[in-house]
């Protein structure tokens, strides 16, 4: 158990819908990272938040957004869902904002878009 | 942009034997970190081992060790005394020391362990 929690574990929804994925980092970690793992694109970095502020952006679609709240939990919002958004979404956390330490991953949320 | 290549889509090893998984990377940076993550059927991403590029000594964690060749940009993982629980997908990952916000992953290698 990494100490990073993600809810829900599984999510099934229809095209065009909007969903919210939630992540709670390890105790003491201020950075939260979101990754997408899909069959065709592998594991890709989406976005990082540090202490409530966006820190780095990767291959995140405009239909996707994220935020980190004062209690440091983070939410990834996916809207206007398409079939291709079906993937495993991971959250990871670490202490520092600059990546000098190790990222620990949560168990992931499996999103299926029908 | 940095890239990570794992040229072995799948590997097999007999229980108690040794197996080596290959990884190469491309970067123009001199300071960075390299990782091996394990993803078992549960899909959880588990850190196996970490190597700092400025360290010449190869990292070791119990039965797991790496062969880090900086000039060749190679970072292989050796698993000794393989166990059934080692069966998983293994990902090699790169992280910049200067812009270390994201992990760049390879495509992964499926490791099968035969009893």
Q: Residue A71 corresponds to which tokens in the numbers above? A: 């209690």
What mean pLDDT value characterizes chain B?
A: 94
How much is the pLDDT for A90?
97
Percent of chain B with pLDDT over 70: 98
Of A100, A105, A110, nearest to B45 by CB-CB distance is: A105
**How confident is residue B100, by pLDDT bands cut at 50, 70 and 90?**
low
Best A44, A103, A107, A108 residue to mutate vs chain B (most B CBs within 10 Å): A103
Cα-flanking dihedrals φ and ψ of residue B86, to 5°? -80, -10
Tell the burial category of A60 from Cβ atoms under 10 Å away from its Cβ (0-12, 13-18, 19+). Answer: middle
Mean pLDDT along residues A38-65: 92
How much is the pLDDT for B23?
98
Mean pLDDT along residues A13-38: 96
Mean pLDDT along residues B5-28: 97
């Amino acid at each position: 158990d990494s100490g990073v929690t993600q809810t829900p574990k599984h999510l099934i929804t229809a095209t065009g819908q909007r969903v919210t994925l939630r992540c709670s980092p390890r105790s003491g970690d201020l950075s939260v990272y979101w990754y997408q793992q899909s069959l065709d694109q592998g594991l890709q970095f989406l976005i990082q938040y540090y202490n409530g502020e966006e820190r780095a952006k990767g291959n995140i679609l405009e239909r996707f957004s994220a935020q980190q709240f004062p209690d440091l939990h983070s939410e990834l919002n996916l809207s206007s869902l398409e079939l291709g958004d079906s993937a495993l979404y991971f959250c990871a956390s670490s202490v520092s904002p600059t990546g000098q330490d190790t990222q620990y991953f949560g168990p992931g949320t499996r999103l299926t878009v029908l | 942009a940095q890239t990570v290549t794992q040229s072995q889509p799948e590997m097999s090893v007999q229980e108690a034997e040794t197996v080596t998984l290959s990884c190469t990377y491309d970067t123009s940076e001199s300071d960075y970190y390299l990782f091996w993550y394990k993803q078992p059927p549960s899909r959880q991403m588990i850190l196996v081992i970490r190597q700092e590029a400025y360290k010449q000594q190869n990292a070791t964690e119990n039965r797991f060790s790496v062969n880090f060749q900086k000039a060749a940009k190679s970072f292989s993982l050796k698993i000794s005394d393989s166990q059934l629980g080692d069966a998983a997908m293994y990902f090699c990952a790169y992280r910049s020391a200067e812009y270390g916000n994201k992990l760049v992953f390879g495509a992964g290698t499926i490791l099968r362990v035969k009893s």
